[in-house]
Amino acid sequence: MTSWLDHTINGLIVGNIYALLAVGLALIFGVSRLINFAHGSVYVVGAYIGWVAVAHLHTPLPVTILLVAAGSALLGLLIERFGLRPLQGSTKIAPLLATIGISFVLDQIVQIVFTPDPRALPSQLPDWRFQIGGGTIGALDILIAAIGFTSAVLLFGFLRFTKLGWAVRATAQDRDAARQMGVDVDQVNRIVFAIASALGGLSGLLVGMYYNYIDPAMSFQATLKGVVAEVVGGVGNIPGAIVGSLILGLVESYGIALLGTSYRNLFAFILLVVILVLRPNGLFASKRQLPPEPLTGTFIAPSKPVPLPTPALLAALAVAAVLPLVIAQPYLLQTLTNAWLYALLGISLTLIAGTVGQISLGHAALLAIGGYTSALLTLDLGVPVGLSILAAGFVAAGLGTLLAWPAFRLRGHYVTIATLAIGEIVSLAILNWESLTRGPIGVFGIPPISLFGYPIESARAVYWFTLAILAVLAALQLRLLRSHLGRAWRAVRDDDVAARSYGIALDRYKALAFITGGFAAGISGGVTSHLYSFINHETFNAQLSILALTIVILGGMGNVFGAIVGSVLLIGLPEVFRVAAEYRVLIYGLVLLLLIRFRPQGLFGTV
Amino acid sequence: MSETTAPVPLLELDKVNTFYGPVQVHFDLSLTVPKGEIVSLLGGNASGKSTTMKIILGLLKPQSGTVRFAGEDIGALQTPQIIRRGIGSVPEARRLFPDMSVRENLLMGAFTRTDKQAVAHDLDWVLTLFPKLGQRLAQRAGTLSGGEQQMVAMARALMGRPKLICMDEPTMGLSPLFVDRVLELIAAINREGVTIFMVEQNASLALQIAHRGYVLQTGRIVLEGKAADLLVDARIRDAYLGGAEAA
């Protein structure tokens, strides 16, 4: 067994790597009030630049480091120029969503260019370790510590003693005032993106060397870790980000020592949620805190929804209902069935993110809860399938609301981060709670759908079954939106302070939204599990959450019919055109980016 | 007092029309700020005063009309370039950099300058105008009182050695004691040869130190003239001084 000192060293080294990420995130947040979800992609690109340099160009280490820093900085500049600058002046959440889209696109490009297979990234350093106390330190540990320390010192010097550094600080403290002093804030933005990305890329290189392993999928985790560290230290606070990173590294290292590797991320996200709930401004926030985020944390582009009279909706439903009589190919029906299931997720998210303005990035967790509930009820308790799906809806509604509860007191960006973390926690709980969920192996042999003993197995029957559920829940949601409840939800979204001063209990209405939305998503997950007959902790992953958000934005936030059409387009079209799976995610990312840029109100307008 | 010679205009707005989306804020707004004077733009809430400031500083671009500074059309320039031409800004609500020291704030005022020695010299000069700030140089600007912050904001604008300083409601939110002090300081800055264009809601105060005044009402100039004339003008007394005693 390795010593505690070893775990401490390991924690600090990993913390150092996180610090390189978190400092960049803090810099970017400082000058542009943006949580850059594409940061992990820069980190991956940095790692792959390093891999190309080491494995193909055989560059010496200093050259590799320079190449990685320069390449990543360039990527940062491109992201700033083409992804974010065009969005200046739009609502705050728009650039955040754009960085999500950018990260989808970048990760997918890396995956297409380098294949999803992992690569070894040898460190080129001598393989010696020396003893100190009860632990050992290797050359790579020292290199990582040195790079972390040097970067921190250079950054400090830059911010404190150079004119540009002053401009960065001034911009971070008051962007408008900085402009009025003659600071070119666009240039500041570029500089900050370049520096942050160089550090992020270096972090990717060092991680690759540390574990001698890189793969494209590490992007998302890296973003999350950086965000956790940044939030722990207080968003935008650079020294805080460094300390937060070291704390995160240590928490993870000790946690793994106690419980095992598969718990690593669980600690990170629980730490995040605890900090968000107890000290949303971070551990080191000064008494004079950042002003609260503007209320417009939502992505509601002002627009008139496209009018959709009830007869037209009924006609659309009728067409959808008779489609199986016309279409013979089961493949097409299966695709549409899939679209209906995503549409259930879509109407759920469009309610929570669109109508109530709580941009949730953990929505796949509701599917997972529903899926596991229905699967385990039928397999372990012998509950009939129809009943189990209904139960899946209720459990997802209840448990989902309970889990989202900590996020209710948060606003804007913080809701997004918190729900993302909660979603990850659910996925990790499924992975680790083996006695209930069967752990990483997943759940096999989930029985097919049946209702009152009648099997629903043909493509046609399943199609009608899901369409019927969707129609009922969508109609219910439309009815709710027109009621007093719907008005209260929109009031919470548009101005929560005003809503509260008119006597709307925010928590209660947010809970009602999560209950309503959780039910639809849970049903969708439940049905899905019976259709797949196998699920595991990765079936309902974070990518699904982001796909759901893209569906919702495509249709128009809060727009029930829009969510359904959005789902048909995003799920159905790539299927019909037989787009290869790896290009699909690329398409989703691009669709998200183009929508945010050119049609933020979606196809059918926000409601 | 030069009554007959036409003063040289340092800043000129000519038939400016500004919009916020579909809402028009300025209607053919024209005004002149002669070199060496204090010109005050008066008006109530939502009259378009602060928007005028944004137009001059290039923070907002008008739909039509020209903005000339020292004879040059600055309408197409970005804010940093406009600042470099010699315009200093004292923003509404002061807008200091709260986590920077007073000294750093002052030096940020000289951001566009490259003459380091002259900047150091000007720091001393500014501190003679605002001696109180000398004791506060190392203090974080966010911890100062409102009046002290206003001084820092004015001193910061001076550090750019501007030809013109634009002040947006410099007396807003200050205690009456400080209001007089700030007005004295504005007059003192003007005596140093700096032209001043100030936006004010408090007409009687502003006109005490101004040479000329313009009155803006829902985006249109409804009155203009010498400060002394405006102070006794019945219309402005009714509309803006609320019948109070004019100086």
**Rounded Cα distance, A470 and A177, in Å:** 52
Query: What does the pLDDT look like over A515-534, one tens digit per residue?
Result: 999 999 999 999 999 999 99
Of the listed ranges A150-154, A288-292, B42-46, B164-168, the least confidently predicted one is A288-292
Are residues A210 and A347 located together in one domain of the fold?
A: no
Does A301 reach chain B within 8 Å, measured CB to CB? Answer: no
How much is the pLDDT for B243? 41
Three-state DSSP at B129 gives helix
Determine, for residues A181 and B108 on separate chains, whether the beta-carbon distance falls below 8 Å. yes
How much is the pLDDT for A15? 95
Average pLDDT, chain B: 88
Does A211 reach chain B within 8 Å, measured CB to CB? Answer: no
Of the listed ranges A293-302, A439-448, B206-215, the least confidently predicted one is A293-302
A336, A338, A341, A346 alpha-carbon torsion, rounded to 10°: -80
Query: What does the pLDDT look like over A420-461, one tens digit per residue?
Result: 999 999 999 999 999 999 988 999 999 999 888 888 888 899
Name which of A176, A181, A184 is nearest B109 (Cβ-Cβ).
A181
Amino acid, single-letter form, for residue A449: I
Determine, for residues B97 and A169 on separate chains, whether the beta-carbon distance falls below 8 Å. yes
Write out chain A residues lying below 8 Å of B59, CB-based: 176, 179-180
Q: Is the pLDDT of residue A124 over 70?
A: yes
Q: Is the pLDDT of residue A297 over 50?
A: no
- DSSP letter assigned to residue A455: E
How much is the pLDDT for B231? 83
How much is the pLDDT for A131? 78
The domain tally of chain A equals 2
Write out chain A residues lying below 8 Å of B109, CB-based: 181
Does B152 reach chain A within 8 Å, measured CB to CB? Answer: no
Average pLDDT, chain A: 90
Question: Using 50, 70 and 90 to split pLDDT, how confident is the model at A414?
Answer: confident
- Residue B162: phi and psi, rounded to 5, are -80, 160
Name which of B84, B97, B98 is nearest A182 (Cβ-Cβ).
B84
Note whether residue A237 is domain-resident: no
Among the three residues A165, A192, A217, which one is the final residue of a domain in this structure? Answer: A217
Question: Using 50, 70 and 90 to split pLDDT, how confident is the model at A2?
Answer: low
Q: Is the pLDDT of residue A372 over 50?
A: yes
Does A165 reach chain B within 8 Å, measured CB to CB? Answer: no
How much is the pLDDT for B1? 44
Name which of A176, A183, A184 is nearest B95 (Cβ-Cβ).
A176
Query: What does the pLDDT look like over A593-606, one tens digit per residue?
Result: 998 888 888 888 88
A-chain residue closest to B54, CA distance? A180
**Rounded Cα distance, A513 and A489, in Å:** 8
Determine, for residues B79 and A170 on separate chains, whether the beta-carbon distance falls below 8 Å. no
pTM score:
0.88
A-chain residue closest to B60, CA distance? A176
Contact by Cβ (8 Å): A374, A524 = no
How much is the pLDDT for A291? 46
Which residue, A96, A139, A194, is CA-closest to A415?
A: A96
Other CB atoms within 10 Å distance of the CB of residue A481: 18
Name which of B89, B99, B100 is nearest A180 (Cβ-Cβ).
B89
Beta-bridged to residue B33, according to DSSP, are B11
Write out chain A residues lying below 8 Å of B78, CB-based: 184
Q: Is the pLDDT of residue B13 over 80?
A: yes
Residue A475: which domain range? 331-541
Note whether residue A6 is domain-resident: no
Which residue, B176, B214, B170, is CA-closest to B188?
A: B170
Does A160 reach chain B within 8 Å, measured CB to CB? Answer: no
Give the residue from A163, A181, A185 with the most B CB atoms within 10 Å of its CB, the best one to mutate: A181
Does B156 reach chain A within 8 Å, measured CB to CB? Answer: yes
Angle at A504 between CA A499 and CA A509, to 5 degrees: 105
How much is the pLDDT for A500? 87
Name which of B84, B89, B100 is nearest A170 (Cβ-Cβ).
B100
Q: How far is B117 from chain A (nearest CA, A)?
A: 15
**What are the residues whose beta carbons fall under 8 Å from the beta carbon of A58, sequence distance 6 or more?**
none
Are residues A213 and A335 located together in one domain of the fold?
A: no
Question: Using 50, 70 and 90 to split pLDDT, how confident is the model at A4?
Answer: confident
Are residues A353 and A213 located together in one domain of the fold?
A: no
Other CB atoms within 10 Å distance of the CB of residue A307: 8
Query: What does the pLDDT look like over B145-194, one tens digit per residue?
Result: 888 999 999 999 999 999 999 999 998 888 888 888 889 999 999 999 99
**Rounded Cα distance, A175 and A549, in Å:** 30
Name which of B84, B91, B98 is nearest A173 (Cβ-Cβ).
B98
* C-alpha distances out from residue A491 to A128, A509, A513, A607, Å: 63, 10, 13, 12
What's the rounded mean pLDDT across residues A28-41?
Answer: 91
Gyration radius (Cα) of chain A, Å: 24
How much is the pLDDT for A294? 42
Three-state DSSP at B66 gives strand
Tokens of residue A384, six digits: 């009939």
| CA A497 remoteness from chain centre | 27
More confident residue, B5 or A197: A197
Q: What is the DSSP annotation of B159-215? A: TT--SEEEEESTTTT--HHHHHHHHHHHHHHHHTT-EEEEEES-HHHHHHH-SEEEE
Determine, for residues B108 and A174 on separate chains, whether the beta-carbon distance falls below 8 Å. no
Note whether residue A236 is domain-resident: no
How much is the pLDDT for A287? 43
**Rounded Cα distance, B181 and A445, in Å:** 83
Contact by Cβ (8 Å): A8, A253 = yes
Query: What does the pLDDT look like over A543-577, one tens digit per residue?
Result: 899 899 999 999 998 999 999 999 999 998 888 77
Note whether residue A311 is domain-resident: no
E strand or H helix at A571: none
Note whether residue A597 is domain-resident: no
Contact by Cβ (8 Å): A66, A572 = no
How much is the pLDDT for A331? 87
Superfamily of domain B1-86+162-178+186-241: P-loop containing nucleotide triphosphate hydrolases (3.40.50.300)
Residue spans of the domains in chain B: they are 1-86+162-178+186-241, 97-161
What's the rounded mean pLDDT across residues A472-490?
Answer: 94
* Chain B residues 102-131 within an 8 A CB cutoff of chain A: 104, 107-109, 111-112
Name which of B80, B97, B142 is nearest A184 (Cβ-Cβ).
B80
Among the three residues A516, A541, A566, which one is the final residue of a domain in this structure? Answer: A541
Determine, for residues A163 and B80 on separate chains, whether the beta-carbon distance falls below 8 Å. no
Determine, for residues B96 and A163 on separate chains, whether the beta-carbon distance falls below 8 Å. no
Determine, for residues A182 and B80 on separate chains, whether the beta-carbon distance falls below 8 Å. yes
Determine, for residues B97 and A184 on separate chains, whether the beta-carbon distance falls below 8 Å. no
Are residues A501 and A363 located together in one domain of the fold?
A: yes
Q: Is the pLDDT of residue A404 over 90?
A: yes
**Residue written as token pair 């390189």:** A20
Of the listed ranges A21-25, A56-60, A578-582, the least confidently predicted one is A578-582
Question: Using 50, 70 and 90 to split pLDDT, how confident is the model at A70?
Answer: very high
Write out chain A residues lying below 8 Å of B57, CB-based: 180
**Rounded Cα distance, A77 and A96, in Å:** 16
Determine, for residues A170 and B97 on separate chains, whether the beta-carbon distance falls below 8 Å. yes
- DSSP letter assigned to residue B138: T
Which residue, A516, A524, A459, is CA-closest to A489?
A: A516
Question: Using 50, 70 and 90 to split pLDDT, how confident is the model at A489?
Answer: very high
Question: Using 50, 70 and 90 to split pLDDT, how confident is the model at A264?
Answer: confident
Which residue, A366, A306, A309, A320, is CA-closest to A471?
A: A320
Provide the percentage of residues in chain A whose pLDDT is more than 90.
Answer: 63
* C-alpha distances out from residue A49 to A52, A64, A69, A201, B175, Å: 5, 8, 9, 9, 60
A-chain residue closest to B53, CA distance? A180
How much is the pLDDT for B190? 94
Give the residue from A180, A185, A187 with the most B CB atoms within 10 Å of its CB, the best one to mutate: A180
Note whether residue A581 is domain-resident: no
Question: Using 50, 70 and 90 to split pLDDT, how confident is the model at B239?
Answer: low
Write out chain A residues lying below 8 Å of B141, CB-based: none
Q: How far is B22 from chain A (nearest CA, A)?
A: 14
Q: Could you tell me how many residues make up chain B? A: 247
Does A88 reach chain B within 8 Å, measured CB to CB? Answer: no
Determine, for residues A173 and B99 on separate chains, whether the beta-carbon distance falls below 8 Å. yes
